[in-house]
Structure 1
Amino acid sequence: MRWDLAVREAAVLGEGPTWDPVTGRLIWVDILSSRIHTYAPSDGRRTVMATEQHVGAAKPRAGGGLVVNLRDGVGLYGPDGGFSWLVRDPVAGRRANDAAVSPDGALWAGTMRYDEAPGGGTLSRIGPDGTVTEVLGDASVSNGIGWSPDSRLMYYIDTPTGRIDVFDFDGQLAEERRPFAAIPATAGHPDGLAVDGEGGVWVALWGGGAVRRYAADGTLDLIVPLPVRCPTACAFGGPDLTDLYITTARVGQSAPHPLAGSVLVLPGAGRGLPGFAFAG
Structure 2
Amino acid sequence: MTAYDHAPMLGLPRVATGISHFLAEGPTWDPIRGRILWVDIMDGFVYSGRFAHGGAIVIDEKVQFPDTAGAVAVSQAGEWLVAGTERLYTRGLDGEITAGPDLIGVDGRRFNDGKPDPASRFVVGTKGPGDEQLIQVGADGTVTVLDDDLTLSNGLGWTKDGRTFYTVDTLSRRIHVRDYDPATGETGERRVFLKITDGYPDGMTIDSDDHLWVALWGEGCVIRISPDGNVVGRVDVPAPHTSCPVFAGPDLDTLVITTATEGMTPEGLAAHPLSGRLFTVRTGHRGIHPNLWAGTPTALSLEETA
Q: Please tell me the TM-score bracket, short chain as reference.
A: over 0.9
Aligned counterpart, 2:195: 182
CA distance in 2, matches of 1:12, 1:173: 36
- Give the root-mean-square deviation of aligned CA atoms: 1.3
1:95 to 93, 106, 110: 110
Q: Is the 8 A contact 2:47 2:59 kept in 1?
A: no
In structure 2, distance between residues paired with 1:167 and 1:87? 29
Aligned residue for 1:70?
84
User: Equivalents in 2 of 1:262, 1:129: separation in Å?
Assistant: 37
Match of residue 229, structure 1, among 229, 234, 240 = 240
Q: Aligned to 1:253, what secondary structure does the other structure show?
A: coil
Cα distance change of structure 1 residues 45 and 28 upon mapping to structure 2, 3 Å threshold? closer
Question: How much does 1:103 deviate?
Answer: 0.5
Q: State which of 155, 166, 173 in structure 1 corresponds to 2:186.
A: 173
Q: Residue 239 of structure 1 aligns to a residue in which SS?
A: coil
> Aligned partners of 2:283 and 2:149: how far apart in 1?
38
Q: Could you tell me which runs of 5 or more consecutive residues in structure 1 were left unpaired when the two chains were aligned.
A: none
Shift of 1:11: 0.7
Taking a change above 3 Å as real, the CA distance of residues 248 and 194 of structure 1, as seen in their structure-2 partners, is same
C-alpha contact 2:39 2:71 (8 A) present in aligned 1:
yes
Q: What residue number does 1:56 align with?
A: 70
Q: Give the Å deviation of 1:45.
A: 4.3
Secondary structure, counterpart of 2:171 in structure 1:
helix
* Higher Cα Rg, which structure: 2
- 1:111 aligned onto 2:134: no
Q: CA deviation at 1:165?
A: 1.1
Report the CA distance between 1:145 and its aligned residue: 0.6
Which residues in structure 2 correspond to 1:1-280 (within 5 Å)? 1-42=11-52, 44-89=58-103, 90-113=105-128, 117-119=129-131, 121-171=132-182, 172-184=185-197, 187-254=198-265, 255-256=268-269, 257-280=272-295
TM-score normalized with structure 1 length: 0.94
Give the 4+ runs in structure 1 shifted more than 6 A. Answer: none
Q: Distance in 2 between matches of 1:63 and 1:39?
A: 19
Contact 1:181–1:214 (CA under 8 A) maintained in structure 2: no
Distance in 2 of aligned mates of 1:93 and 1:84? 23
The change in CA–CA distance for 1:83 and 1:129 in structure 2 (over 3 A counts) is farther
Please, which runs of 5 or more residues in structure 2 have no aligned partner?
A: 1-10, 296-306
Give 3-state SS (helix, strand or coil) of 2:250's partner.
Answer: coil
Deviations along 1:138-187, one digit per CA (max 9) or x if unpaired, are 22210001001111100000101212111100131322111222210xx2
Kindly indicate whether the alpha-carbon contact (under 8 Å) linking 1:75 and 1:87 is maintained by their aligned counterparts in 2. Answer: no
SS of 2:42 mapped into structure 1: helix
SS at match of 1:160: coil
Letter of the 1:101 partner, please give it: P
In the alignment, is the contact (CA less than 8 A) between 1:19 and 1:26 conserved in 2? yes
Percent identical residues: 35
Distance 2:70 2:191 in 1: 25
Opposite residue 174 of structure 2, the aligned amino acid is: R
